């Protein structure tokens, strides 16, 4: 079966790394994520990853507690670097070549984000993990994922969550919540479905970049998705 998508950006929230913990990184979750990525790497899929830092530090929450918004967002950017290094380590233990690129300069830890370098790595089938968000405060890692996906000319943003797709209400609280199979960008904005933030959705809409939201915790889901099976919710 031919591949549906050949170059992807996988967007993960920092909270997805917590597992059943209240904060931090669950090693079992890392194992699951890296195993899923190995399965699609073997197919020749070109992979970029953007991950949040909410399992360690959230700039917006810090702002509510009296921390300056710019400082809080910078601390959140550093949290994404920690998560990126954890994923890099887990992937490389499986023999997957990776590069962490950072939107803020930290040469001893990660490469600076340079688009031409990123593209070269991706063409060589290395997994590129884009850390530090956009490098600027007031922008989320959702926006960073949309931006990087557009820059590397990804076919799609794949957003991994712990539920099966996008619902009309929280399925973890409402057992009767209805799941959508397909939505337009306008549907997402008008229904305030919180798939990604407003800036990210607008960027995707303006550039015709589809978004797929799916359950990352179901084994084999990621592989089925890139092979074209009807997994999750498509926003296009």
pLDDT of residue 200: 96
CB neighbour list of residue 60: distance below 8 Å, 6 or more residues apart: 69, 72
Rounded Cα–Cα distance for residues 140 and 142 (Å): 5
Q: In 3-state terms, what secondary structure has residue 203? A: helix
In the predicted model, is pLDDT for residue 230 greater than 80?
yes
HEC sequence for 167-202: ECCCCCCCCCCCEECEECHHHHHHCCCCCCCHHHHH
For 107, the domain range is 7-235
pLDDT single digits (tens) 199-211: 999 999 999 999 9
With 0.85 as the threshold, say if the pTM is over it: yes
Q: Do residues 127 and 91 lie in contact, with contact meaning Cβ atoms separated by under 8 Å? A: yes
162 pLDDT more than 90: no
* 202 belongs to a structural domain: yes
For residue 64, pLDDT over 80 is answered with no
The reply to whether 87 falls in a domain is: yes
pLDDT at 12 (0 to 100): 94
What was the pLDDT predicted at 59? 63
Report yes or no on 214 lying in a domain.
yes
* Residue 16 pLDDT greater than 90, yes or no: no
Judge residue 108's burial from the number of C-beta atoms within 10 Å of its C-beta, 0-12 exposed, 13-18 middle, 19 or more buried.
exposed
Instruction: Name the nearest CA neighbour of 188 among 235, 120, 227.
Output: 235
The residues facing 182 across adjacent strands are 234
pLDDT (mean) for 58-69: 73
Tokens in use for 173? 């609280």
Chain mean pLDDT for the chain: 92
Whether residue 158 is contained in a domain is answered as yes
pLDDT at residue 209, as a whole number: 97
Residue 215 maps to a domain: yes
Residues 90 and 65: beta-carbon distance below 8 Å: no
pLDDT value, residue 61: 67
Distance CA 59, CA 194 (A): 18
Q: What is the CATH number of the domain that holds 50?
A: 3.40.1160.10
pLDDT in tens, 93-113: 999 999 999 999 999 999 999
For range 132-144, the mean pLDDT: 95
Q: Could you tell me if residue 2 is inside a domain?
A: no
Report the pLDDT averaged over residues 49-72. 82
First-to-final CA distance of the chain:
23
Dist. CA 188–CA 185, nearest whole Å:
5
149 pLDDT band, cuts 50/70/90, is very high
188 found inside a domain = yes
Per-residue pLDDT band for 62 (boundaries 50, 70, 90) equals low
> How many domains does one find in the chain?
1
Whether the CB-CB separation of 100 and 110 falls below 8 Å is answered with: yes
64 within some domain:
yes
């Amino acid at each position: 079966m031919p591949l549906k998508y050949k170059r992807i950006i996988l967007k993960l929230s920092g909270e997805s790394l917590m597992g059943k913990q209240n904060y931090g990184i669950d090693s079992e979750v890392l194992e699951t994520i890296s195993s899923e990525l190995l399965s699609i790497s073997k197919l020749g899929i070109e992979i970029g990853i953007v991950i949040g830092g909410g399992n360690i530090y959230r700039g917006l929450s810090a702002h509510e507690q009296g921390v300056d918004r710019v400082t809080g967002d910078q601390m959140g950017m550093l949290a994404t670097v920690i998560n990126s290094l954890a994923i890099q380590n887990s992937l490389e233990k499986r023999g997957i070549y990776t590069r962490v690129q950072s939107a803020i300069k930290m040469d001893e830890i990660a490469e600076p984000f340079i688009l031409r370098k990123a593209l070269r790595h991706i063409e060589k089938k290395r997994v590129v993990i884009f850390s530090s968000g956009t490098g600027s405060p007031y922008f989320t890692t959702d926006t960073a994922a949309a931006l990087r996906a557009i820059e590397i000319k990804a076919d799609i943003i794949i957003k991994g969550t712990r539920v099966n797709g996008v619902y009309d209400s929280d399925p973890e609280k409402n057992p009767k919540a209805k799941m959508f199979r397909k939505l337009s960008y306008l549907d997402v904005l008008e229904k305030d479905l919180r798939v990604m933030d407003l800036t990210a959705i607008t960027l995707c809409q303006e550039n015709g970049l589809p978004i797929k939201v799916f359950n990352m915790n179901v084994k084999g889901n990621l592989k089925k998705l890139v092979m074209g099976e009807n997994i999750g919710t498509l926003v296009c």
